[in-house]
Amino acid sequence: MGSSFPQHESAASILRSMISSPGPIILAPGVYDGFSARIALAVGFDAIYMTGAGTSASRIGHADLGIANLNDMREHAEMIANLDDSIPLIADADTGYGGPIMITRTIQHYARSGVAALHIEDQVQTKRCGHLQGKQVVPTAEFLIRIRAAVAARRAIGSDLVIIARTDALQPFGYEESISRLRLARDAGADVGFLEGLTSIEEAKATVQDLAPWPVLLNMVEHGATPSISVGEAQEMGFRIVIFPFAGLAPAYKAMKEVYQRLKEKGVTGAEAHMTPKQLFEVSGLKDDLEIDAKAGGTAFAGGV
């Protein structure tokens, strides 16, 4: 477990070096709460991704419609980022939550919370998931104000926080407009580009080529607007980062629904025998916590748990 008071390079600096190194594509599975983050961290990834859609679902019980605010998102991100502060957390920051002053706060708060990277997009404030229909985006000038505010705020606090510029302009305005917005965001100081809702393999390849050598992120939302692209294929195309936002949420939904249904219909959960409470707590750092207590001379758990 990483300490909350880093003795090492910040997660933002670690991610920044990873992005600029010639290494393999950075794979970040979506996590949506402490438990899913623990599982992903235990499996072992170079980075993890806090999905806004999953945060909305798990933290406030709502769809990804711009309902989770800065405080909801930041608090959630801080908890996740500090479970292991040596593994960079890339976190959704939606529209940045307002004008330049709010975006400045978003950058400051995310950076202080230990987040390594965030993405800010050009949707209107009453946004929606990038894979739904009927999206609206703000004019390019307003998008650039958001990016400039983010870059200035990051520089002012001397943080390595990676700023990912996301455009949702593909659906309303098409490919050329989206590339043009991302180039302008790059020129305004954004570190990584993210073209949301890519609709074909050709478009995905072209995005990387048209923005090269700027690093580009691929959002692999399964069964959304984008055809299925594997990590290997994304690397081959030249993407620098790939996120799988629903890697945790979608299977969790299916598993929970089945068990709740079984409990309702048959009166039992059918939980597997090895799923003891202790085993479940071990996923969430039980051993580390007991060690902390014992090292401090605590006796509360001396007889075991």
Ligand X SMILES: C[C@](O)(C(=O)O)[C@H](CC(=O)O)C(=O)O
Cα 76 to Cα 94: distance, rounded to the nearest angstrom: 14
- The piece of 51-59, 72-80, 180-188, 264-272 that touches ligand X (CB under 6 A) is 51-59
Beta-sheet pairing, 26-31 with 162-167: unpaired
Residue type, 87: I
Q: Is 226 in the site for ligand X (CB under 6 A)?
A: no
Instruction: Find the helix or strand (DSSP H, E) in which 6 lies.
Output: none
Q: Is 224 in the site for ligand X (CB under 6 A)?
A: yes
Q: Is 92 in the site for ligand X (CB under 6 A)?
A: yes
Q: Is 129 in the site for ligand X (CB under 6 A)?
A: yes
Q: Measure CA of the first residue to CA of the last residue in the chain; give whole Å.
A: 20
Q: Is 51 in the site for ligand X (CB under 6 A)?
A: yes
Give the shortest CB-58-to-ligand X separation in angstroms: 12
User: Would you say 76 or 131 has its CB closer to ligand X?
Assistant: 131
Q: Is 171 in the site for ligand X (CB under 6 A)?
A: no
Q: Is 122 in the site for ligand X (CB under 6 A)?
A: no
Q: Is 53 in the site for ligand X (CB under 6 A)?
A: yes
User: Which value, to the nearest 10 degrees, does the dihedral of the CA atoms of residues 176, 178, 184, 190 take?
Assistant: -140
Q: Write out the binding residues for ligand X, residues 235-264 only, by CB under 6 A.
A: 245
- List 221, 237, 242, 247, residue binding ligand X (CB under 6 A): 221
From the list 45, 3, 1, the residue with the least C-alpha distance to 24 is: 45
DSSP state of 127: -
User: Would you say 51 or 178 has its CB closer to ligand X?
Assistant: 51
Q: How many helices (H) and strands (E) does the chain have?
A: 13, 8
Report helix angle 175-187 to 140-156, nearest 10.
Answer: 30
Summarize as ranges the residues that interact with ligand X (CB under 6 A).
51-53, 64, 92, 129-131, 196, 219, 221, 224, 245
